[in-house]
């Protein structure tokens, strides 16, 4: 399976001497970080009430308790930080899944991982009376973990084809969606909570949420970044990787743990958001080539750019109301997915 087509992606940079290539990639990463900072600033400045950048600076670093400062500290800043964290989580999860399954169409949302989290969370709300995020988060992990193992076993292991994996995700999604629906219908209180959660939104962000999910995401990020080299070996195919002395089972297990932590925490915090994990690793691969050790940091920086950007767009287009960020990413990601399906020359297509 060479769907990722390392040869093609690598040709652009292959001619440059290795050191210059590294320098260029590093520069690119720094530029991306700059973009991320700019988007983060925009995310604080833009909203129902626009705040000039100098006041943003003032509110962040010279807090005096004025109305604007309060808006910045208590509303915009937590929202931006949460967007940042969730973006990193989804982007890295997507990159790891795509590498692990050698499947360019993999995405935590499309594979039903979010649905697993949703099913677990709705059960927690309805049957166990869990109301706080501290409660949700464990259920979201549980749901994500179970589904990721299930989908991977059904569609991903060994000779993964994009179709099989997508269908496995679809099947899991459908079964769980039926369940979530049933619970929501029997329990209207749960419906009222869930219908906002299930579109994926940053609107209810606050510092407590941030503090609760940050540790899980942090562990996930470290794990994912450490996996870079092993995932490079996976790209070579099972036999070659094994011949090179790579421990595939360990890589797989650790990758699943990383994905569960990243995706589970992100989903618990703001509901299922699809396509971020699909789009960004794709674009990044075109920039960096197939080396996971570069794809992962780039994805970690550029995914929050997309997520925060989508959130800002969502706040701008339907002012004073807002479009949930999950809706915006899907509007961007759905067409892109279809484009990729059309473009790729896969044997099955």
Partner 1 sequence: MNASKRTAKSGTRGVTLRTAGLSLRLDVRGAVVGLLLIAVALVMGVVLIGTGDFPIAPADVVRTLFGNGTVAQDFIVNELRLPRVLVGLLVGAALGLGGAIFQSISRNPLGSPDVIGLGQGAAAGALTAIVLVKGDPGVVATGAVLGGVLTGLAVYALAWRQGVHGYRLVLVGIGTSATFTAVNGYLLTQAHQEDAARAVMWLTGSLNGRDWDQVWPLLAVCAVLMPVALGQARNLRMLEMGDDSAYALGVRVERTRMVLMGAAVLLVASATAAAGPVAFVALVAPQLARRLTRSPGPNLLPAAWMGAALLVTADWAAQRAFGADQLPVGVLTGMLGGAYLLWLLVTERRAGRI
CB-nearer residue toward partner 1: 34 or 334: 334
Is residue 324 at the binding interface for partner 1, with CB under 8 A as the rule? yes
Is residue 148 at the binding interface for partner 1, with CB under 8 A as the rule? no
- In the chain, which ranges are continuous DSSP H helix? 6-14, 18-45, 53-61, 67-70, 77-101, 113-127, 133-151, 162-186, 188-197, 207-226, 228-235, 238-243, 248-270, 276-288, 292-317, 325-343
CB atoms inside a 10 Å sphere around CB 23: 12
Is residue 196 at the binding interface for partner 1, with CB under 8 A as the rule? yes
Q: Which stretch binds partner 1 (CB under 8 A): 57-65, 127-135, 156-164, 261-269?
A: 156-164
Is residue 109 at the binding interface for partner 1, with CB under 8 A as the rule? yes
In angstroms, the CA 97 to CA 105 distance is: 10
Is residue 127 at the binding interface for partner 1, with CB under 8 A as the rule? no
CB-nearer residue toward partner 1: 141 or 197: 197
CB-nearer residue toward partner 1: 190 or 295: 190
CB atoms inside a 10 Å sphere around CB 181: 13
Q: Which stretch binds partner 1 (CB under 8 A): 138-146, 234-242, 251-259, 326-334?
A: 326-334
Is residue 237 at the binding interface for partner 1, with CB under 8 A as the rule? no
Question: Rounded to the nearest whole angstrom, what is the least distance from the CB of residue 336 to partner 1 in the complex?
Answer: 9
Token pair belonging to 311: 């959130």
Is residue 3 at the binding interface for partner 1, with CB under 8 A as the rule? no
CB-nearer residue toward partner 1: 47 or 271: 271
Candidates 256, 261, 269; CA nearest to 84 is 269
Out of 9, 170, 225, 236, point to the residue binding partner 1 (CB under 8 A).
170
Is residue 149 at the binding interface for partner 1, with CB under 8 A as the rule? no
| CA distance readout (Å), 193 to 62, 67, 144, 249 | 37, 29, 20, 39
Helix axes of 133-151 and 207-226: crossing angle, nearest 10 degrees: 30
In angstroms, the CA 97 to CA 101 distance is: 6
- Report whether 152 contacts 287 (CB < 8 A): no
Question: Rounded to the nearest whole angstrom, what is the least distance from the CB of residue 335 to partner 1 in the complex?
Answer: 7
Out of 58, 73, 164, 193, point to the residue binding partner 1 (CB under 8 A).
164
- Which residues here bind partner 1, judged by CB under 8 A? 105, 109-110, 154-155, 161-164, 166-168, 170-172, 174-179, 181-182, 184-186, 188, 191-192, 195-196, 198-199, 274-275, 323-324, 326-327, 330-331, 333-335, 337-338, 341-342, 346, 348-349
């Amino acid at each position: 399976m060479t769907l990722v087509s390392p040869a093609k992606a690598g040709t652009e940079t292959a001619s440059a001497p290795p050191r210059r290539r590294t320098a260029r990639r590093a520069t690119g990463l720094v530029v991306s970080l700059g973009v991320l900072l700019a988007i983060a600033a925009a995310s604080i400045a833009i909203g129902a009430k626009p705040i000039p950048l100098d006041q943003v600076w003032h509110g962040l670093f010279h807090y005096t308790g004025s109305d604007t400062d309060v808006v910045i500290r208590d509303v915009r800043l937590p929202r931006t930080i949460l967007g940042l964290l969730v973006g990193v989580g989804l982007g890295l999860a997507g990159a790891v899944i795509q590498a692990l399954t050698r499947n360019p169409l993999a995405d935590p949302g499309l594979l039903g991982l979010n649905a697993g989290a949703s099913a677990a969370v709705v059960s927690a709300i309805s049957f166990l009376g869990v109301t706080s995020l501290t409660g949700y988060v464990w259920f979201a992990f549980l749901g994500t973990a179970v589904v990721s193992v299930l989908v991977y076993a059904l569609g991903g292991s060994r000779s993964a084809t994009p179709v099989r994996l997508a269908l496995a995700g679809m099947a899991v999604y459908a079964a769980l969606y039926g369940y979530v629906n049933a619970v929501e219908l029997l329990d209207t209180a749960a419906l009222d909570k869930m219908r906002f959660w299930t579109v994926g939104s940053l609107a209810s962000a606050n510092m407590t949420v941030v503090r609760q999910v940050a540790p899980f995401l942090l562990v996930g990020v470290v794990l994912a970044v450490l996996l870079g080299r092993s995932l490079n070996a996976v790209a070579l195919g099972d036999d070659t990787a094994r011949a090179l002395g790579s421990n595939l089972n360990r890589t797989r297990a650790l990758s699943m743990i990383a994905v569960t932590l990243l995706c589970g925490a992100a989903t618990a915090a703001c509901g299922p958001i699809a396509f971020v994990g699909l789009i960004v690793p794709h674009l990044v691969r075109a920039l960096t080539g197939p080396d996971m050790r570069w794809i992962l940091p780039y994805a970690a920086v550029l995914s929050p750019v997309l997520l925060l950007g989508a959130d800002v767009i969502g706040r701008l287009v339907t002012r004073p109301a807002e479009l949930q960020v999950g809706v915006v990413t899907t509007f961007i990601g759905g067409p892109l997915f279809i484009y990729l399906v059309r473009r790729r020359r896969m044997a099955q297509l």
